[in-house]
Structure 1
């Protein structure tokens, strides 16, 4: 099978986590800012799309070169073997971005790349006229950074955060990829209780359940590369059957999501049922301040309100204060909170064991980690 240069893109701060996932699939990789590069065949394209929980999307690298003039961009794009990827009837829109480069006009770069590919294809397919573009979709991106051009084809289609289970959402839903990352950055194991006291539309509990039963996050959706003529449908079938065999549906889970808003609790329940996890997760309406439990060695993960809007901060900080008081008794529990409030530790009433800088969309946040006592080892 042909080996391709593949790129798993990632949110800032999650690169190491994506790299760990890529390696766990059996591929060596290199880590750069917001991208993890690895080599793999058609099966690697299918597996990485189906299994990577924290990556944004999987791109196929066609070429990379330096270009400081439009002529150079045209000639070097035209020199690449586009016919290896694009059939004669391919629909291939070109998007682009340019950062700190002499060729700063994105629309011009897109037009030139498109023209160069058309010229290459005309020569290869011995065509005189225009291409109809009524076949499978190949989304091409031209990215310029400090005069280095990277040309890629998107293999995912919709971003990988679109798992296919979200029937509804709240005002500021956390992306599923970040939700999975927040779970993977904890010390939670499927045999321990998991609680999200700010569950919103249910993303964190659902992602925890998918992780707990080792269910591939892309199992319920389709990918644009499934329609490509050189991606054998047998490969996709094989990878899906493998994923089905690897899922541990018998793993019992103790996962609870709660929220102050009863409408969101209902949405979370609907989303969990859509994901096929409705029976596994317990959702209820509750204020975080009222949380009590007799269970031990559990994990609490939350993405509480940040108080970003004017006038909200004092109310949010009061809630943090009361939450700190409610959680103070839970000495065997580990607690993880994501917020942009830099005064969180002071208001919560305790210094974090560790904190990690992450981005929730464009908001710079810290992931505050409070580690509880270790559970006794099973004899």
Structure 2
């Protein structure tokens, strides 16, 4: 099979981080654009990306694109694509459609037209008037943007941020892919102490532990394409073995604190589910008392934002108290803190050295970066 093109959707702000991940996997023709990253390869490349990606949301096989100003053009363009190369005779092919700034605004009708086109093409190729759709699922995704249709097969299934270790969570959980992106942006790789004084259910410290150990986040979950004939079980086993061979087995100083005892217990439970309980510890602690003893390290954290008016003053008081604690920390520590609060730097009491735009869901945030002045913090 010739090389295929894959698209990895990301949260806005993480495109460059995801692209760097894919390059480190030795995948080819990596290219980032707003909200997604492309690469090319074969079934093994697709499997490697699914198993190892920390910041991508899913791996989509791109089948093609064409102008679709009306339903006839959508039908003809979709029917011309080689669906039989990927969807077998018994394959089920549900459709998900999204339309933005296009004349075809009815996503439900677009999905129906697309299903008819794919069904007619497959029926003709397999000599069937009615396809059984009794086999594995081949989820079709169509994106209509400015009257251009782009079609994909979803190789992942449930989003890659669903690692499998967070069965329960506290209010407003941080998505695992965003937590991993924050850790990677801090350039933490396990060498120095790592702290999260607002750890909640433990997502950031757990992702830091997975990164420190170089453990592939997809090893404990399943993927839609595992049931596809062109991605046989042998390849999945080979890539899983490769990922496990690359894992590190050191000791790490990773800590999460939260003032809520229930959140801390949940974080400990999640660490056990993630298999990193020996690498990370959690304690009930007040961020206002944060006082690292080590001369240098990383703090990556996501405190409450105070989005509701009733919570805004409470969040500002929290930022001010943590700011006072931070200014007492040794100079070699670096802080990477995400917040959507427009007055964060003022309430924290110090302007950031750098800021980076990130999106927590649809909420625009800044990653405020306070860089250590010597040693590890540089």
- For the superposition of Structure 1 and Structure 2, which TM-score range results when normalised by the shorter chain? over 0.9
What SS does structure 2 have at the residue aligned with 1:312?
Answer: helix
- Paired residue for 1:300? 299
Query: Are positions 1:223 and 2:223 aligned together?
Result: yes
| Counterpart secondary structure, 1:243 | helix
Q: Which deviations, in whole Å up to 9, do the C-alpha atoms of 1:167-194 show, x marking residues without a partner?
A: 3210011000000000001132312100
Cα RMSD for the two superposed structures: 1.2
Question: What does 1:166-177 correspond to in 2, within 5 Å?
Answer: 166-177=166-177
Aligned to 1:204: 204
TM normalised by structure 1 equals 0.97
2:347 corresponds to: 347
| CA-CA distance at 1:126 after TM superposition | 0.5
Partners of 1:85 and 1:144 in 2: how far apart? 22
Alignment of 1:231-242 (within 5 A): 231-242=231-242
1:278: which partner in 2?
277
1:245 and 2:245 equivalent? yes
Deviations 1:136-174 (A, max 9, x none): 011101110011100101000000000111132100110
Indicate if the aligned counterparts of 1:2 and 1:42 stay in contact, CA closer than 8 A: no
State the partner residue of 1:86.
87
Cα distance, 1:233 vs structure 2? 0.9
Structure 2 counterparts to residues 134-173 of structure 1, below 5 A = 134-173=134-173
Provide TM-score, normalisation by structure 2. Answer: 0.97
Q: How far, CA to CA, are the matches of 1:247 and 1:361 in structure 2?
A: 30
* Structure 2 Cα separation of the partners of residues 189 and 233 of structure 1: 31
Q: Matched residue pairs, number?
A: 375
In the TM superposition, what is the alpha-carbon distance from 1:376 to its structure 2 partner?
A: 6.9
Displacement, 1:373? Answer: 2.1
Q: Structure 1 CA distance, aligned partners of 2:85 and 2:144?
A: 23
**Is 2:47 aligned against 1:46?**
yes
- Given that 2:296 and 2:376 are in contact with CA atoms closer than 8 Å, whether structure 1 keeps it comes out as no
User: Aligned-pair distance for 1:232?
Assistant: 1.3
**Alignment gaps of 5+ in structure 1:** none
Contact 1:167 1:270 in 2 (8 A): no
For residues 288 and 376 of structure 1, do their structure 2 counterparts lie closer, same or farther at Cα, with a shift above 3 Å needed? closer
Q: Residue 56 of structure 1 corresponds to which residue in structure 2? A: 57
| Contact 2:333 2:376 survives alignment (8 Å) | no
Distance across 2 between alignment mates of 1:198 and 1:93: 41
Distance between the aligned counterparts of 2:204 and 2:376, measured in 1? 26
Residue 28 of structure 1, CA deviation: 2.1
4+ runs of 1 displaced by more than 2 Å? none
Alpha-carbon distance in structure 2 between the residues aligned to 1:328 and 1:54:
31
1:311 counterpart SS class: helix
Aligned positions of 1:9-158 closer than 5 A: 9-26=9-26, 27-128=28-129, 130-158=130-158
Partner residue, 1:262: 261
